[in-house]
Amino acid sequence: MMIIKVQDRYVRNFNFGINNDKLLIINNSKNLEDHEESFKQDLLADDYLQYVVQLEHQAGEWRLVGGYAGEFITADRNAIEFAPDRALARSFLGRAEYAIDANRRLAFEGAVKRNGEGMWLKFEYSHAFGQHLRATASFTLIRGVPTDFLGQYERNSHGMLALRYSF
**pLDDT tens digits, one per residue of 52-93:** 889 999 999 999 999 999 988 877 776 666 677 778 889 999
Domain-wise residue ranges, the chain: 14-165
Whole-number Å distance between alpha carbons of 7 and 11: 13
Q: Has residue 31 got a pLDDT over 50? A: no
pLDDT-derived band at 5 (thresholds 50, 70, 90) equals confident
Q: How far is CA 68 from CA 112, 144, 154, in A?
A: 10, 18, 22
> Which 3 state secondary structure label does DSSP give 151?
helix
Q: Tens digit of pLDDT for each residue in 108-154?
A: 999 999 998 999 999 999 999 999 999 999 999 999 998 888 888 88
Predicted confidence at residue 132, as pLDDT, reads: 94
Across 20-167, where does the E strand assignment appear? Answer: 22-27, 47-59, 62-75, 91-99, 104-113, 118-129, 133-144, 158-165
One-letter amino acid identity for 12? R
Its pTM stands at 0.72
Rounded-to-integer distance, Cα 68 and Cα 54, Å:
7
Strand order in the sheet with 47-59: 47-59, 62-75, 91-99, 104-113, 118-129, 133-144, 158-165
- What residues are paired with 113 via a beta bridge? 91
* Alpha-carbon torsion (114, 66, 158, 84), positive or negative: positive
Paired strand residues for 129: 133
